[in-house]
Structure 1
Amino acid sequence: MTDVGGDPPTATPVPLLNIANILTMSRLVLVPVFLAALFAADGHQTTWRLAAFAVFAVASFTDHVDGNLARKHGLITDFGKIADPIADKALTGAALVGLSLLGELPWWVTVVIAVREIGVTLLRFWVIRHGVIPASRGGKLKTLVQVFAIGLYVLPLPPLLVPVAEVLMGAAVILTVVTGVDYVVRAVRLRARGRRAVAGA
């Protein structure tokens, strides 16, 4: 019989410099570019607003593409796991703060969303030793609605369409709060299960 033993093949390490991570970093680079266009001419010049929207749209699209590429081609890295949510929150946070500084978005909206995002990040660290909570459908919907709502606020909309942006942002706030509460519940349950498993070991 032929000996087919020996050491098992080792997995090829994923290079840090891959297309998924490059797209993630490009999103971070686009944040100051977006802010520069948003604040140009006090943020009220149509051309600059369209430019800001274009940058925001491209950056938001990379958030969708880099994750799909990483999963499809096995390009998931520890760096990507950390950098991707940071880049996502940097873009959204910069847009919300910028719009509030321009007086076009109430500060309470920015604060509610920021507190939720920071809180969820802290919760991830709180339960990380017990496991990872996967993104829910509600969380994905929340992100999508936030992006569309922010995009409408960035665009130089005619007065007739302003209520549409306001309603969509209201929906984004509601989804932000509801999914945040859901994340807290799931985090507490995960931590409780982890502690019971340790106690019963």
Structure 2
Amino acid sequence: MNLPNKLTILRVIMIPFFVAALLYDGGANQNMRYVAAALFIIASLTDMLDGKIARKYNLVTNFGKFMDPLADKLLVCSALICMIELRELPAWMVIIIISREFIISGFRLVASDNGVVIAASYWGKFKTTFQMIGVVLLIFNIPALSTLTTIIVWIALALTVISLVDYIVKNAGVLTEGKM
């Protein structure tokens, strides 16, 4: 159990505390929203940090390859589902984002069965960055930033669809008799 894997586990452990803080008092308590934002930001930073440490010090493990993207998806999806509960995002938008995650995970599973690793694309990394920024802005819920928040959320949604199409086009061979 190396440091990057511990950071990944920490991220997963933080999720219920983040959700509890965000949904406390129906999301009406601004101080708890600040706590939720801090937890989300720290968890998001561990996502960036664990990967850098793993690559820099050659600490990449099978556990990390499996758990790191799963922890990332759990964190972001938990936040987005909470935003539906708080009536700050429409369900259809969250369904599109979560569906993309399931589709890409399925592609990766099929590819893995054929000995192929599908690396994260730049589109996927941009998507994750905009989703995380959008979530933080939604958590803070600052009226003066509502237009910026809306723009960031729409960009995140567009990048979600673009990155899905990119993965499908680049990796269509995974679904046709395991050819790449």
Which TM-score tier does this pair reach, normalised by the shorter chain? over 0.9
TM normalised by structure 2 equals 0.95
SS of 1:76's partner is coil
Flag the 1:195–1:167 CA change in 2: closer, same or farther, 3 A.
closer
Are 1:44 and 2:23 an aligned pair?
no
CA distance in 1, matches of 2:130, 2:156: 5
CA distance in 2, matches of 1:191, 1:69: 33
Contact 1:130-1:191 within 8 A present in 2 as well: no
Tell me what 1:132 maps to.
117
Structure 1 residue runs of 5 or longer lacking an equivalent are 1-16, 197-201
Which of 27, 46, 62 is the equivalent residue of 2:46? Answer: 62
Which of 140, 144, 162 is the equivalent residue of 2:129? Answer: 144
Which structure 2 residues correspond to residues 1-201 of structure 1 after superposition, within 5 A? Answer: 17-128=1-112, 129-157=114-142, 159-189=143-173, 195=179
Contact 2:130-2:155 within 8 A present in 1 as well: yes
Tell me what 1:5 maps to.
none
Q: Which amino acid aligns with 2:130?
A: V
Q: Which amino acid aligns with 2:46?
A: T
After superposing on structure 2, the runs of 4+ consecutive aligned residues of structure 1 that deviate more than 6 Å are none
CA distance in 2, matches of 1:124, 1:171: 25
SS of 2:97's partner is helix
Deviations 1:137-180 (A, max 9, x none): 111111111100111001131x2211110110000000000100
CA distance in 1, matches of 2:99, 2:120: 18
Contact 1:130-1:190 within 8 A present in 2 as well: no
Contact 2:21-2:36 within 8 A present in 1 as well: yes
SS of 2:117's partner is coil
Q: Relative to total residues, which structure has the larger helix share, 1 or 2?
A: 2
Superposition RMSD in Å = 1.5
CA distance in 2, matches of 1:193, 1:72: 36
> Sequence identity, in percent?
37
Structure 2 residue runs of 5 or longer lacking an equivalent are none
Larger Rg: 1
| Number of aligned residues | 179
TM normalised by structure 1 equals 0.85
CA distance in 2, matches of 1:130, 1:80: 18
